[in-house]
């Protein structure tokens, strides 16, 4: 069965006798009449695989004939001359497997047919004024109609409550896309590592990595690439990428392609001139050991905090060894002193969104237990900011190492394992393309 149809069925069963309304993304203007690149809404894509704006999916359980209905833009020859083909109302049922399709302009008028008889409407108010207004209009029409006969939804729920737990567990088809995204991201990192030389600019490394993504068929980067050298390695979300690479400093690259709406998310840190200094190596070894300890914890039944705690322990021990923290291990962990240098979590869900849908805590408000099919990043880091009161020789060193880890029945699979991170691998590959710096 078509996976999108299957997900719609699963969602329909989950909402019992009720109705769900899931809008697509819309085009957003960047300036004047130029739009930002269109990226489909992840929930809508998950349920339809349909990549056009201005559409709404309705899952109905009370309607006699239609269980899933799509409202979408109709064919328009004039617009298609400029913007390319549209699927159109006529072809939608066959192409997408929905029971019925109508022009998006009929949404408010036709929605009451599907609302009547339902108790709860699953719709996320507050995302789009236009769609909110159409839904309110449709509710009003449904009330008018129901004065004579029928029931009107009187409870409202966020479809995320039902959909996002589904999205948390990836199917084989989703994992195959995520593996391909990881393979493309690998090519980007290898190219960026080979191209790195003192005197280049951060944006040249950004261009090298993103060129590979596009060349290999990825539609987007999954988020803005972070390409920070020198002191910028200690800025967690540095995305300006404008500075020159100086010999003797590190380069931190946090980047991933998005393929068919699925993200990859990888961080590697390497020396600009291909040789770690003693201090850089000391910090790097701690972060790598912390990441390996955390990954080793990832298996079904383990709670999310457990792999974070494993990373925190290794990082804190390492910082004590280097004299960047003082006192006992327990006290530094208890009092969270390690947060001076490692101030973020160790990972997030990954999937259609780079910070993917799905709760981090369970019904008892405990950290979520891992289950097979979940994908999480594991990404500890140490950042010795210039403004800290600590040994001068470590200042300006920031290291993060991040991989995408699939929870399997046996334990885990590192989807981004093939991207080099051992010191000897990095020292061999960095700068090996020997591109001359731009004059």
- Our answer to whether residue 321 is catalytic in this structure is no
Closest separation in Å from C-beta 255 to Mn ion = 10
Quick check: is 66 catalytic? no
- Cα angle 314, 288, 179 (rounded to 5 degrees) comes to 125
282 in helix, strand or coil? helix
Nearer to Mn ion, 265 or 317 (CB): 265
Annotated catalytic residue 355:
yes
- Distance from C-alpha of 237 to C-alpha of 289, rounded to nearest angstrom: 23
Clarify whether 308 is annotated catalytic: no
Q: Edge to edge, what strands does the sheet with 19-23 contain?
A: 100-103, 68-72, 56-59, 19-23, 120-122, 155-157
| C-alpha dist (Å) from residue 63 to 48, 90, 111, 113, 406 | 20, 21, 11, 7, 39
Find the residue with minimal CB distance to Mn ion: 265
Q: Which of 52, 204, 212, 379 is catalytic?
A: 379
Stretch that binds Mn ion, among 5-13, 24-32, 76-84, 372-380 (CB under 5 A): 372-380
Closest distance of CB 341 from Mn ion, Å: 18
Q: What are phi and psi of 393, to 5 degrees?
A: -65, -20
Residue 379 annotated to the active site:
yes
CB contact at 8 A, 227 and 253:
yes
Closest approach of Cβ 400 to Mn ion, in Å?
A: 9
Taking the complex as a whole, the smallest distance from the CB of residue 349 to Mn ion amounts, in Å, to 10
How far apart CA 163 and CA 14 sit, in angstroms, is 9
> Is 224 known to be catalytic?
no
Span near Mn ion by CB under 5 A; candidates 65-73, 259-267, 407-415, 422-430 = 259-267
What is the separation of C-alpha 264 from the centre of its chain, rounded to a whole number of angstroms? 7
Q: Tell me whether residue 164 is one of the annotated catalytic residues.
A: no
Pattern 326-365, binding to Mn ion, x per CB under 5 A? ----------------------------------------
Burial, 323: exposed, middle or buried (Cβ in 10 Å; 0-12, 13-18, 19+)? exposed
CB of 309 to Mn ion, least distance (A): 19
> Contact region for Mn ion (CB under 5 A) — 134-142, 265-273, 284-292, 356-364?
265-273
Stretch that binds Mn ion, among 59-67, 260-268, 381-389, 391-399 (CB under 5 A): 260-268
Considering beta carbons, is residue 98 or 312 the nearer one to Mn ion? Answer: 312
- Is 63 marked active-site? no
Q: Which one-letter DSSP state was computed for residue 369?
A: B
Q: Is 254 a known active-site residue?
A: yes
| Least gap, CB of 266 to Mn ion (angstroms) | 8
Q: Which of 97, 89, 70, 71 shows the shortest CA–CA distance to 6?
A: 97
CB nearer Mn ion, residue 258 or residue 265: 265
Catalytic one of 143, 299, 337, 355: 355
Q: Which of 344, 359, 413, 427 is catalytic?
A: 344
**Active-site residue identified among 46, 114, 341, 383:** 383
Long-range Cβ contact pairs of 63-68 (< 8 A, separation 24 or more): 63/113, 63/114, 65/99, 65/100, 66/99, 66/100, 66/114, 67/8, 67/12, 67/99, 68/5, 68/8, 68/12, 68/98, 68/99
Could you confirm whether 337 is annotated as catalytic?
A: no
Instruction: Give yes or no for residue 258 binding Mn ion (CB under 5 A).
Output: no
Q: In whole angstroms, how close is the CB of 154 to Mn ion at the nearest point?
A: 41
Q: How many residues are recorded in the chain?
A: 439
User: Is residue 262 within 8 Å of residue 170, measured between CB atoms?
Assistant: no
Binds Mn ion (CB under 5 A): choice among 48, 377, 412, 416 = 377
Of 210, 265, 317, 353, the one binding Mn ion (CB under 5 A) is: 265
Q: Which residues does residue 263 pair with via DSSP β-bridges, in sequence order?
A: 258
CB 381 within 8 A of CB 398: yes
Catalytic residues, which ones? Answer: 33, 237, 254, 265, 344, 348, 355, 379, 383, 400, 402
Q: Site residues (CB under 5 A) for Mn ion?
A: 265, 377
């Amino acid at each position: 069965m078509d996976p999108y149809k299957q997900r719609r069925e699963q969602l329909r069963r989950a909402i019992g006798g009720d109705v769900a309304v899931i809008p697509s993304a819309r085009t957003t203007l960047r300036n004047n009449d130029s739009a930002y690149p269109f990226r489909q809404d992840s929930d809508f894509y998950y349920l339809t695989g349909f990549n056009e704006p201005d559409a709404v999916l309705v899952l109905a359980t009370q309607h006699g004939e239609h269980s899933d209905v799509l409202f979408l833009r109709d064919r328009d020859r004039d617009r298609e001359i400029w913007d390319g083909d549209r699927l159109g109302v006529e072809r939608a049922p066959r192409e997408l497997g929905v029971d019925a399709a109508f022009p998006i302009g009929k949404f408010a008028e036709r929605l009451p047919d599907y609302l009547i008889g339902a108790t709860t409407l699953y719709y996320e108010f507050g995302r789009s004024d236009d769609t909110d207004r159409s839904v309110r209009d449709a509710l009003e029409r449904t009330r008018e109609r129901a004065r004579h006969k029928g029931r009107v939804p009187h409870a409202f729920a966020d479809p995320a409550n039902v959909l996002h737990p589904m999205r948390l567990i990836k199917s084989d088809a989703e994992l195959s896309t995520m593996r391909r995204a990881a393979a493309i991201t690998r090519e980007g990192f290898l190219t960026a590592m080979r191209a790195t030389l003192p005197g280049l600019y951060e944006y040249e490394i950004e261009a090298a990595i993103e060129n590979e993504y596009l060349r290999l068929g990825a539609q987007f980067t999954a988020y803005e690439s972070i390409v920070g050298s020198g002191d910028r390695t200690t800025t967690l979300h540095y995305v300006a990428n404008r500075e020159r690479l100086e010999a003797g400093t590190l380069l931190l690259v946090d980047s991933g392609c998005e393929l068919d709406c699925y993200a990859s998310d990888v961080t590697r840190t390497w020396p600009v001139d291909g040789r770690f200094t003693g201090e850089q190596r000391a910090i790097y070894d701690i972060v790598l050991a912390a990441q390996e300890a955390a990954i080793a914890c990832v298996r079904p039944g383990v709670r999310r905090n457990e792999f974070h705690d494993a990373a925190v322990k290794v990082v804190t021990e390492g910082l004590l060894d280097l004299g960047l923290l003082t006192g006992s291990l327990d006290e530094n962990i208890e009092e969270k002193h390690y947060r001076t240098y490692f101030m973020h979590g160790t990972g997030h869900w990954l999937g259609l969104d780079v910070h993917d849908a799905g709760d981090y805590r369970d019904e008892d408000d405990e950290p979520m237990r891992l289950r097979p099919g979940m994908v999480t990043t594991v990404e500890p880091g140490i950042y010795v900011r210039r403004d800290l009161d600590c040994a001068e020789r470590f200042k300006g060193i920031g290291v993060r190492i991040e991989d995408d880890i699939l929870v399997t029945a046996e334990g885990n699979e590192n989807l981004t394992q093939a991207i080099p991170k051992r010191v000897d691998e990095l020292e061999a590959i960095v700068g090996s393309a020997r591109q001359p710096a731009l004059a």
